[in-house]
Amino acid sequence: MKKILVVGAGSAIAEATARLFAQRGDALFLVGRKADVLESMCADLRVRGASAVGMHVMDANDFNGHEAMLNDAEGSLGGLDTVLIAHGTLSDQKACESSVELTLRELNTNGVSVVALLTRVAARFEQRKAGTIVVISSVAGDRGRQSNYVYGSAKALVTAFTSGLRQRLYASGVTVVTIKPGFVDTPMTAAFPKGALWAKPQQIANGIVGAVDRSSATVLYLPAFWQLIMLIIRSIPEAIFRKLKL
């Protein structure tokens, strides 16, 4: 039985993943902004088989609240061995372009707050020489594109930070997994027309649970074909890329 902290529990990917853990009898601690959502998730996960469920209402941008939340999680679960960081917002790129304030807020939510959390979690796990940290980044972080480079650059921060953290913690036996989902059909993307590239949150969740079980300290594109797509996108020369409407 694992003791799992889920930050951004209300996201579709996090909820699908939490359900898979619950079905196996793992213990879960949920963190999110909305108390009513967390409460209904707790009840749901209990029915699905979670051995214990706890919750903590927090805005990830409240950096000063992170330490208290981690203490609450460890106290509630009686320890902690797995952390899934899944919170985020899909930035409105157009609105960001005319608002410094919004741009900085999006960077905080999707990038800086993740770094702040990771720094605290890493310190705890490194000391114990055990633990698994799974972070949801995005294919959008692989290369900035005009359609969503604010979100993309926040995710690039997460990708680079987790890459370095993975190296640092490898010696301590702490596993850091960077998940890069492609297009996922969630409430966040409800308004987009869906094609063959779109995955269901359940598919991403299966990949995440598999990575936790294998303890594979790595970068994981989900679904896997995104690795190839992003390889191509990254290798387009800048002289061509700058003209593309991506």
Residue 116 CA to residue 214 CA, distance in Å, equals 26
Ranges within 143-162 binding other proteins (CB under 8 A): none
**What SS3 state is found at 82?**
strand
Binding range to other proteins, per CB under 8 A, among 39-47, 61-69, 156-164, 237-245: 39-47
Give how many residues touch other proteins by CB under 8 A: 15
User: Applying CB under 8 A, does 196 fall inside the site for other proteins?
Assistant: no
In whole angstroms, what separates CA 201 from the centre of its chain? 12
CB 222 within 8 A of CB 193: no
Cβ at position 13, least distance to other proteins in Å: 14
User: Applying CB under 8 A, does 197 fall inside the site for other proteins?
Assistant: no
Cβ-Cβ contacts under 8 Å for 156 (sequence gap 6 or more): 141, 142, 144
Q: Where are the alpha helices (DSSP H) in the chain?
A: 12-23, 35-48, 66-77, 93-97, 100-107, 113-128, 149-170, 201-214, 225-235, 238-241
Burial bucket for residue 90 (CB in 10 Å: 0-12, 13-18, 19+): middle
**Which of the 8 DSSP states describes residue 90?**
-
Query: Distance of CA 10 to CAs 15, 34, 223, Å?
Result: 6, 8, 21
Binding range to other proteins, per CB under 8 A, among 63-71, 93-101, 137-145, 187-195: 187-195
Binding range to other proteins, per CB under 8 A, among 87-95, 102-110, 122-130, 184-192: 184-192
User: Applying CB under 8 A, does 194 fall inside the site for other proteins?
Assistant: yes
- Binding residue for other proteins, selected from 190, 232, 239, 240, defined by CB under 8 A: 190
Cβ at position 29, least distance to other proteins in Å: 18
Q: Is 151 marked active-site?
A: yes
Cβ at position 10, least distance to other proteins in Å: 9
User: Applying CB under 8 A, does 37 fall inside the site for other proteins?
Assistant: yes
Residues designated catalytic: 151
Residues near other proteins (CB under 8 A) = 23, 36-37, 40-41, 43-44, 47-49, 187, 190-191, 193-194
